[in-house]
Structure 1
Amino acid sequence: MTSSDSGLPRRSLLAGAAGLGVAALPAAGPAAQAAPAPTAPARSRAAPLGRHPSNWPDPEPYGRADTRLDLWPREDNSFLLPLERRPRDEELGRVWIRDTYVNCFTVEGRPVYVATGTTRAPGLDGPAPWNDGIFVWVAPSLEGPWKLADTTGIRPGAEKGKVWSPEFAGENRPGRTVVAPWQEYWHDDRFGKRGEVWAPELHHFRGKWYIVACTGDHSRKVGSFMLVSEGGAEGPYRLVEGNLDEPFGNPLPDGPDVVEPGAYFHIDGSLYCEGRDAWLVLHNDLYARFRDDMEDIVPATDLPRFRQQRYSPEPYREGAYVFRYEGRYYLLQAIWDLTSANPDGTTRYAYDTPGAGRRQYQYDAVVAVSDTFEGPYSERWTAGVGAGHNNFFTDHHGRPWATFFRNPAAGYWSHPSRKADTAVPGVVRLEWTGPAGDRLYVERRNRDGTDGG
């Protein structure tokens, strides 16, 4: 989730979308629309051509963005999930969703696909200053059919598929908290009704279902939390013990101006599981191991940091996610590619800090790889243009995929001619460059490094 009143990459009020048309990639033309192929020398090692595709040369210097069209989700490598509509979705003709999350788990010997993300309440353009909780969809295959999780046995008469919401505070009982006081709706004179939940993930671990999500900027406390199901993927869910009083981690010294002082914690919580162990991944350098009972993290504060090869200067990053594939660890982060002018008048694309003359272009998926979970991680590369704040997963055949949603808040996808194609439940095939290249990219058409546009 990104955006702010200043246009900087920060979580805040989000734009909506209406309708669904055919998403058009930019043709050759003005620099703000085209995606030129970089001509700088290679910095990364390349895998040999053959069974595995090659790594592409990276733009120089480190921190430049790769904007080639082959790194975009396209009609030939991606599709939108046909998620079951709720009554609120009928006018739009599809589900409006951000931070799209999809995964596949084997449950009782069969594949179970799940989808969730940040949604909006009826009548609002986006998920702020309040939304109405977390919805879950399930399917037997990636192609579907995608049905809303059947919550009717838990809350008869309530909206199907909604597995958690601040409005469920009335379900709290002694020894069982569903919604903590800091997660409940509240009101003030500036925004009226306040409180939202963003960027949920759903995981199946050691026979139980877990949701990791975060409260948004208009909540009493802003930060990451975890729920555990006492049934199936549909719930019922309760809050883990470590979040009864506050989000995970330390409060930060500052935050957006809409957050009260001392109430801003680490956002974009994610869960990484391996064997019988699990880790919390936080925004964007932090991690912590969960206790064996999964009720809290250790340590609760002063968390360790991933070892990363940072840009200089380091821009704002969101949506950290760790994915293991072929024995390697991939650290995903979402970063805005900012455009500015080079001295020769050409367009400069970079993962940079905001400044005069710099404009948001694409919300990219940027990835690094390591032999260990903690790092050190390699130099980062652009894995998907406009595919930021996503997750990687493998289908039940072992093939890697990524999600995307096309950020409507700023940049390329915020243009009025494109906003009807934003906030979507998208998935795109990935390709691996093998043990010599160690990279995952959006599946490319031209793998020899030439411009695919």
Structure 2
Amino acid sequence: MSSTEDRPRLARRSLLARAAGAGAAAALPVAAAPGAQAAPAPGGHTPAAPAGRHPADWPDPAPYGRADTRLDLWPREDNSFVLPLELRPRDEERGTVWMRDTYVNCFVVDGRPLYVATGTTRVPGLEAAGPWNDGIFVWTARSLRGPWKLADTTRIRPGAEKGKVWSPEFAGENRPGRTVVAPWQEYWYDERFGKRGQAWAPELHLVRGTWYMVACMGDHSRKVGSFVLVSEGGVEGPYRLVEGNLEKPFGDPYTGGPDFIEPGAYHHIDGSLHSRGEDTWLVLHNHLYAKFRDDMEDLVTPTGLPGFRQTPYTPEPYLEGAYVFAYAGKYFLLHAAWDRTSIDADGTPRHAYDVPGTGRVQYQYDAVAAVSDHFEGPYSARWTVGVGAGHNNFFEDAHGGLWATFFRNPNFGHWSNPSRLADAAVPGVVRLEWTGPKGNRLYVRRRDRH
């Protein structure tokens, strides 16, 4: 589900690029060093562009809630590519890392660009990342095009699988005063599923020189919801759990998820982080947010979290992957929404971000966004950012270029067709375009911009 700090980042990166040149900047080392600083975000910076050169906003399909399915909003060969992540032994037969919830970001570490990538992956022998997976892997690169290498975790866990920074199987590393895996995160077993427990939708953030990972324990875990890990070293770890998650995920439990989840075990999933100056907030999938304490070990107010002020659809469907991206003095709130196809009363095809219903078929897992002058809102009406690009994040590259991630959902819809599965569940990135200070929209880079 990226700008994580609301300070001028683009200007600093542009200076780096001009000073070193594009080729030199791409070749800079990526090793995280002590004292690394987070790249400032572009919240207060408006990129310069000649008058009249910004692409135009597109009129939205009507009524509000209809999905825009134009091919220009798809990730295509001319505007996107799949990251060439270093393969693990489990990936070699496929030739590409199987990944959902792709997350990519670029930070400045000791004056040098550092790209990071992570996401939800699966274990050999399973077709999905459940009912269990083996944790979270991280890749780093010198440039967006690579080469992408697994984070070097060999000094932390000699002989273990390289690149794995956290897993329920690390419970044996717990020590008094230092918890790596809480009891509610450990693997467990039942007669229906056998081995259970998985980590979903991880993200990496660099806050005041320290690496944090926010992720979620998925549906088959003892408790379902978002948690935060803090690194005691570089991007490779070692990571431990923050104090606020020793007993449970963040936020209040609520009724949700599949029927096999025990009452009270389901919390808010798909957590993300957003920083502004010295303050950092947790952002949760169903539109909630909460401020962290200064030490980042827990939320200031752990329960009764407030919600963003939004312009909802009518009725509002289930949305996932909430993420806030600051750019050009604005805040962009992202969600993943299923475009469901059906037939309108006049017999024409209907594409809309609908609630489930008879005759409504899942088609594409889209990225939708809204914009606001303030982090808390109020946010504008939403628009379609990218077709099939849902559950993503936005980020700036080392030269100020804008990108979104995508993964092509293999569970339902267009990418679940057997003929397309080989191209689904991938670590993809697609270029974005900004429509300028008047329109203030971000879209997948379109061919027909006007």
Aligned twin of 2:386: 384
CA shift at 1:343, angstroms? 2.1
User: Is residue 434 of structure 1 aligned with residue 442 of structure 2?
Assistant: no
Alignment match, 2:252 = 250
Report the alpha carbon displacement of residue 50 of structure 1 after superposing the two structures with TM.
Answer: 2.3
Query: What residue is the counterpart of 1:402 in the other structure?
Result: 404
- Specify the alignment match of 1:107 in structure 2: 109
Q: CA deviation at 1:276?
A: 1.6
- The answer as to 2:59 corresponding to 1:50 is no
Cα shift at 1:112: 0.3
Residue number in structure 2 paired with 1:414: 416
Distance in structure 2 (CA, Å) of the matches to 1:275 and 1:127: 36
Matched, 1:76 2:78: yes
Could you say what secondary structure the match of 2:203 adopts?
Answer: strand
Partner in structure 1 of residue 123 of structure 2: 121
Residue identity opposite 1:307 in structure 2: R
Offset, 1:49: 8.8
SS across alignment from 2:437: helix
Secondary structure at the aligned position of 1:136 is classed as strand
**Corresponding residue of 2:263:** 261
Alpha-carbon distance in 2 for matches of 1:148, 1:276: 30
- Which of 300, 303, 314 pairs up with 1:301? 303
Cα contact 1:221–1:264 (8 A) shared by 2: yes
Matching residue's letter, 1:388: G
Aligned to 2:234: 232
Q: Secondary structure at 1:295's aligned position in 2?
A: coil
Asked if 1:317 corresponds to 2:316, the answer is no
- Measure, in 2, the Cα distance between the counterparts of 1:235 and 1:272: 21
**Residue deviations 1:2-44 (CA, integer Å, cap 9, x gap):** xxxxxxxxxxxxxxxxxxxxxxxxxxxxxxxxxxxxxxxxxxx
Q: 342, 355, 358: which is aligned to 1:356?
A: 358
1:110 is aligned with what amino acid? R
Structure 2 CA distance, aligned partners of 1:293 and 1:254? 31
- Counterpart residue type for residue 167 of structure 1: E
Deviations 1:248-300 (A, max 9, x none): 00011343212111100000000111222110001221000110000011210
> Is contact 1:182-1:245 (8 Å) kept?
yes
Q: How far did residue 384 of structure 1 move?
A: 0.2
Q: Number of aligned pairs?
A: 403
SS at match of 1:420: helix
1:315-362 per-position Cα deviation (integer Å, ceiling 9, x unaligned): 000000000011100000000000000122211000011101000000
Contact 1:254–1:262, Cα closer than 8 Å, also in 2: no
- Secondary structure in 2 aligned to 1:64? coil
Q: Which runs of 5+ in 1 are unaligned?
A: 2-47, 449-453
Distance 2:51 2:412 in 1: 37
SS at match of 1:323: strand
| Cα offset, 1:123, TM superposition | 1.0
Of 88, 91, 96, which aligns to 1:89? 91
State the SS of the aligned residue for 1:436: helix
Indicate the percent of aligned positions where both proteins have the same amino acid.
77
Q: Distance in 1 between matches of 2:136 and 2:129?
A: 11
SS class of match (1:61): coil
Matched, 1:276 2:278: yes
Instruction: Say whether residues 1:330 and 2:359 are aligned partners.
Output: no
Q: Which string of whole-angstrom CA distances, capped at 9 and with x for unpartnered residues, describes residues 355-379 of structure 1?
A: 0100000000000000000000000
Distance 1:173 1:142 in 2: 38
Correspondence for 2:31: none
Show CA shifts across 1:108-137 (max 9, x none): 110000000000011111100000000000
Q: State the shift of 1:179 in Å.
A: 0.1
2:218 to 199, 211, 216: 216
The aligned counterpart of 1:182 is 184
Give the TM-score of the pair, scaled to structure 2: 0.88
| Partner Cα separation in structure 1 for residue 422 and residue 152 of structure 2 | 29
**Which structure 2 segments of 5+ residues have no match?**
2-49
Q: What is the deviation of 1:436? A: 0.3
Deviations 1:179-229 (A, max 9, x none): 000000000000000000000000111011000000000000000000000
Contact 1:254 1:261 in 2 (8 A): no
